[in-house]
Amino acid sequence: MNDQVPIKIAILDDYGDIARKVADWGTISNQPDVSVFHDHLSDQEALVERLKPFDVICIMRERTPITRALIERLPNLKLIASTGPRNAAIDLEAARERSIDVVHTGYDSAPTIELTWALILALARNIWLESASVRAGGWQTNVGLDLKGKTLGLLGLGNIGSRVAEIAKAFGMNVVAWSQNLTADQAAEHGATLVSKQALFEQSDLISIHVILSDRTKGLVGAQELELMKPTALLVNTSRGPIIDESALIKVLQEKKIGGAALDVFEQEPLPAEHAFRKLGNVLATPHIGYCSESLYKTFYRDSVSNIDNWISRLRG
């Protein structure tokens, strides 16, 4: 690499104009040329044209998938700086084949846990509907659901699910859980009862999803599972959209076979303008903000600055 030519860095999908506010990109060695993009490009051709000049792309989680097709059309790309400890949207094999380095950052699950409970409470007590009524000049329109004594079903009881369970116990809820490798002893350690997948959907008053998206969890919640839910039951997803069969969920929501859903994640993000989830009255939708907290963004971008600086230092020898 020519020491006289500044390294070009692209920061992608910085929706809230946060990257420069929480991290000092000027501390990176050799004064690189840093460009920040606040919009999201879904069109592949437009994305290729935007990214062609850059040596480094800094990506926010899975907002822009770094696929083989994209990598093979970026001749200058030498480093992918991803936020978070892993990123399933990066084709790591394609990156290795082209000797492109991939680095990751620290992470804290607390913001997602907090948003999960914000969505649970907002959905159970119809907070978003009542707020809309007040803003429109109205007043009370609904009666909310009590959490005390209700059953929370957790699909996944790992790092996030287990802490969601702890908070549920503080509300006086019964907690049941299921995942493919969960044992009764593991569930009991977190105050939950292991049940079958079928029983979880049949028994729960509220179901929250906390499994990692993988080949075996994609479509894990389909029409069969949704049909088992109580007509008053609520569904919350702060994990990943494809874990739920989206068309099946839309169907049961349209037919009002369940009480409602709070969704922070979707199959396609950003959510298309005419998508059903933007219009259904029994859906509380948020724009994948589970990890969008000030402290975590500081971790993401400050670690990215450090990662890029270390990478440049290694290159310069």
Q: Which residues are catalytic?
A: 240, 269, 288
Q: Is 174 helix (H, G, I), strand (E, B) or coil?
A: strand
d(CA 270, CA 261) in angstroms, rounded, equals 18
d(CA 12, CA 306) in angstroms, rounded, equals 17
d(CA 60, CA 10) in angstroms, rounded, equals 11
Q: Which of 161, 148, 221 is nearest to 191 (CA)?
A: 161
* Residue 149 CA from chain centroid, whole number: 29
Q: How many CB atoms lie within 10 A of CB 3?
A: 9
Tokens of 117: 């409970």
Q: Which of 50, 69, 67 is nearest to 8 (CA)?
A: 50
Q: Which of 34, 19, 40 is nearest to 288 (CA)?
A: 40
* Residue 296 CA from chain centroid, whole number: 13
Strand partners, 193: 176
- Whose structure tokens read 């049961």? 252
Contact 78, 312 (CB under 8 A): no
List strand residue ranges (DSSP E) for the chain, in order: 8-11, 33-36, 56-59, 79-82, 101-103, 151-155, 174-178, 193-194, 206-209, 234-237, 260-263, 283-285
Q: Which of 184, 185, 157, 183 is nearest to 169 (CA)?
A: 157
Strand partners, 34: 9
